């Protein structure tokens, strides 16, 4: 792929731009411990990178108590919001710098996140990056979330851009699978919470890096 063909850079949010996955995990643990829920020890790590609907179904498959699952989720959200207010949910290295440089070089930028708008917007506003996106789509604005392609197809339609003129930046294999299902190439920057990156074999993953700063040669 030639970088001069790329017009649109599409970003995931949690784990890629925002160092939030570890805070989400901490919040789940706080909720589970608060309610003394009988769950496997590794359950929190299996929830990383998944949609709220998927995680609710996973918890309910063990607990068989929808009210308890929702109460655990409320504790997790309260914990996350407290950490955000205290300035403990950081941007990932080079996140804002890359977005600014893309805008300065006349690329289109987009955010495609599984997170619902009401939960994502405060995070974006806290870090003052909302205006750096030309297009956005949130998990509650599509029929199916990742690994379905809906989020990415929505962005391509908004931007009136072909799949060959776009590139996706993701931190999870679930997100990369969504990119493959949308027929868009992916740059993967795995979040440390994910342990499945050794399973990478998708031909649409064109590069794997340790941080966003290493992606610059694809654009500039």
Contacts of residue 152, defined as CB under 8 A and 6 or more positions apart, other chains included, come to 10, 112, 166, 168, 178, 179, 182, 184
Strand pairing partners for 167? 9
Is it the case that residue 199 has pLDDT exceeding 80?
no
Is it the case that residue 3 has pLDDT exceeding 70?
no
* pLDDT, tens only, 97-107: 999 999 999 99
pTM (2 d.p.)? 0.91
pLDDT at residue 50, as a whole number: 78
pLDDT band of residue 173 (cuts 50, 70, 90) is confident
Q: Which 8-state DSSP code applies to residue 92?
A: P
Domain ranges of the chain: 3-19+89-218, 21-85
Q: Any idea of the CA torsion for 22, 169, 213, 164, to the nearest 10 degrees?
A: 180
Average pLDDT, the chain: 92
CA distances (Å), origin 5, targets 52, 163, 187: 35, 11, 16
* pLDDT, tens only, 87-96: 999 999 999 9
pLDDT at residue 115, as a whole number: 93
Question: How far apart (Å, rounded) are the C-alpha atoms in residues 45 and 118?
Answer: 24
Is it the case that residue 213 has pLDDT exceeding 80?
yes
User: Once rounded to an integer, what is the mean pLDDT over residues 33-51?
Assistant: 88
Report the CATH fold assignment for 3-19+89-218: Rossmann fold (3.40.50)
Query: Do the beta carbons of residue 92 and residue 209 sit within 8 Å?
Result: no
User: Once rounded to an integer, what is the mean pLDDT over residues 31-42?
Assistant: 94
User: Once rounded to an integer, what is the mean pLDDT over residues 127-152?
Assistant: 96
């Amino acid at each position: 792929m030639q970088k001069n063909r790329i017009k649109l850079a599409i970003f995931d949010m949690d784990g890629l731009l925002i160092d939030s996955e570890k805070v989400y995990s901490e919040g789940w643990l706080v909720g589970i411990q608060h309610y003394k829920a009988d769950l496997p020890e590794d359950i929190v790590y299996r929830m990383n990178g998944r949609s709220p609907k998927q995680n609710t179904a996973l918890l309910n498959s063990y607990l068989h108590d929808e009210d308890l699952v929702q109460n655990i989720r409320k504790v997790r959200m309260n914990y996350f919001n407290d950490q955000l207010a205290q300035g403990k949910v950081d941007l990932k290295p080079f996140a804002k710098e890359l977005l600014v440089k893309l805008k300065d070089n006349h690329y289109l930028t987009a955010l495609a996140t599984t997170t619902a708008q009401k939960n994502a917007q405060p995070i974006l506003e806290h870090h003052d990056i909302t205006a750096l996106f030309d297009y956005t789509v949130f998990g509650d604005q599509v029929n199916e979330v990742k690994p379905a392609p809906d989020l990415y197809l929505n962005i391509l339609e908004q931007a009136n851009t072909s799949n060959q003129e776009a590139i996706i930046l993701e931190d999870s294999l679930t997100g990369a699978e969504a990119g493959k299902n949308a027929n868009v190439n992916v740059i993967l920057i795995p979040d440390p919470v994910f342990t499945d990156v050794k399973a990478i074999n998708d031909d649409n993953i064109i590069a794997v890096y340790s941080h966003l700063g290493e992606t610059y040669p694809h654009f500039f």
